[in-house]
Structure 1
Amino acid sequence: MKLSAELVAFSKRLGHEFARPDLIVRAVTHPSMSTPNRDNNQRLEFLGDRVLGLVMSEALFKADREASEGVLAPRYNALVRKETCAEVAREIDVGAVLKLGRSEQKSGGRRKQALLGDAMEAIIAAIYLDAGFEVARDVVLKLWGNRVEEVKLDARDPKTLLQEWAQARGEQPPRYVELDRSGPDHQPVFVIEVRLSSGPTAQATAGSKRQAEQAAAKALLQKVTE
């Protein structure tokens, strides 16, 4: 099988040249495009989730040899969650190569967090099946970049801390409002405002909703605790 020019370029962004091109084709094929003669990425997604889990478990175990299981678990969850997979997928423009049915294309499937996260997991499985665990681990760690180190700084994210702060004072959970979205599909920019029922607010801008929400929560926490 010969890859399309788009998938050849994507493989370069990914940092892996496939000996079995059919694997990457299957990894980017959404169920809305599957036929009796064309597999979709659901089985690969299942496997990729487990490969990613092992990679991150091993990385966290090595990165902090003093951390207890109770400390490592939330760090692990932050690294393997669907939102994080989707963030990485956006960084390498997975959306541009997704094979989607017409209805998914019309509904903005190339931007959907769930579809991007699922495809990222399937791509990890494709690399694993093509070249083995060590190669898959190296690619994943390169793509996840400094996230493994950053997650050590605060395993409990700002959104969780802000919600706990509000609940401790008898307030309703913070509310997050998307004020603006701009930029191309593969590189969006979100403006999010977080609001407390008692009145204080804060805004933040980032390349994903989750990042903007976390940044806004952090800014509001600093404001209300000063």
Structure 2
Amino acid sequence: MTAFRLEQALGHTFRDRDLLQLALTHRSFTSPHNERLEFLGDAILNAVIAHCLFERFPRLPEGDLSRLRANLVRQDSLHQLALALSLGDFLRLGEGEQKSGGQQRPSILADALEALFGALWLDAGFDVAGRVIVRVYAGVLDRLTSGQGIKDAKTRLQEYLQGARLALPQYSLAGTEGEAHAQQFRVACVIESLHLRTEGRGGSRRAAEQMAAERALESLESAHDFSRQPRS
């Protein structure tokens, strides 16, 4: 699949197409692969997020800033952002990884997103890479409030439903796929009072539940203007 749609989502067109291709190449596909770019991107990401938090929360102490940054750059957070970009559609994976669902594996997606950030820096410099990172993280950063950690999708969904005085969602395993060492879980999130059912997929049941909750939140946002959450 052409990476043009990915570049549109990032808001940057690569001058060096080889850098983009390298960032999207997993080690199972060929060598060279994206692990060196991942190393670079990890450092850039930490610097950009640290600066964002420093500017956004001028009174927050160092320890709280460090905890917020750690939450923002952890694998789960990167995985969710990569899913939002449909990054798995553009990855170059070996045949074994493709068959075992590598396009959705949290570790592969998180690493590839960091590799993309590294490629952006080499392609266009730190300022451009920083702007793209802030754009990718915009929704997450907007949800931050001083003194609070980042709430995951299941927590936000629960708080929304509690605020609306609705029953909590029910999560159930919808199926598993792949070999035992690389299983992919499908989990359903059902909110009976709203007649809403979503599904998530992930390398663990917890990751699949988070994706299902995130999709439920997206449905609520589009249908009920979730940005105006009811207050209890």
Q: TM-score, normalised by structure 2?
A: 0.67
Q: 1:189 to 1:16 in 2, by over 3 A?
A: farther
2:115 aligned counterpart, secondary structure: helix
- Cα distance in 1 between the residues matched to 2:134 and 2:67: 18
* Larger-Rg structure: 1
| Aligned counterpart in structure 1 of residue 8 of structure 2, from 5, 12, 35 | 12
Could you tell me which runs of 5 or more consecutive residues in structure 2 were left unpaired when the two chains were aligned. 156-169, 176-184, 191-196, 201-207, 215-232
- Cα distance in 2 between the residues matched to 1:63 and 1:81: 20
Q: 1:158 to 1:133 in 2, by over 3 A?
A: closer
Deviation of 1:77 after TM superposition, in Å, equals 1.0
CA contact (8 A) 1:78 1:151 kept: no
1:179 aligned counterpart, secondary structure: strand
1:1-226 correspondence runs (5 A): 6-35=2-31, 39-152=32-145, 154-155=148-149, 157=151, 178-180=172-174, 190-191=187-188, 209-210=209-210
Q: 1:45 to 1:156 in 2, by over 3 A?
A: closer
Query: CA-atom RMSD, angstroms?
Result: 3.2
CA contact (8 A) 1:98 1:110 kept: yes
CA contact (8 A) 2:71 2:150 kept: no
Deviation string 1:11-35 (CA, Å, 9 cap, x unpaired) is 1222111111111100000000114
- Cα distance in 2 between the residues matched to 1:33 and 1:156: 34
Deviates more, 1:7-16 or 1:80-89: 7-16
Deviation of 1:152 after TM superposition, in Å, equals 2.6
Q: 1:210 to 1:74 in 2, by over 3 A?
A: farther
Residue correspondences, number: 179
Q: 1:178 to 1:121 in 2, by over 3 A?
A: farther
CA contact (8 A) 2:152 2:210 kept: no
Identity %: 32
Deviation string 1:134-189 (CA, Å, 9 cap, x unpaired) is 10010111111131232335217579x9xxxxxxxxxxxxxx975347xxxxxx98
Q: 1:105 to 1:135 in 2, by over 3 A?
A: same
Q: What is the match of residue 196 of structure 1?
A: none
- Cα distance in 2 between the residues matched to 1:71 and 1:96: 36
Q: What is the match of residue 224 of structure 2?
A: none
Following superposition, which runs of at least 4 residues in structure 1 exceed 4 angstroms of deviation? 156-159, 204-208, 211-214
2:112 aligned counterpart, secondary structure: helix
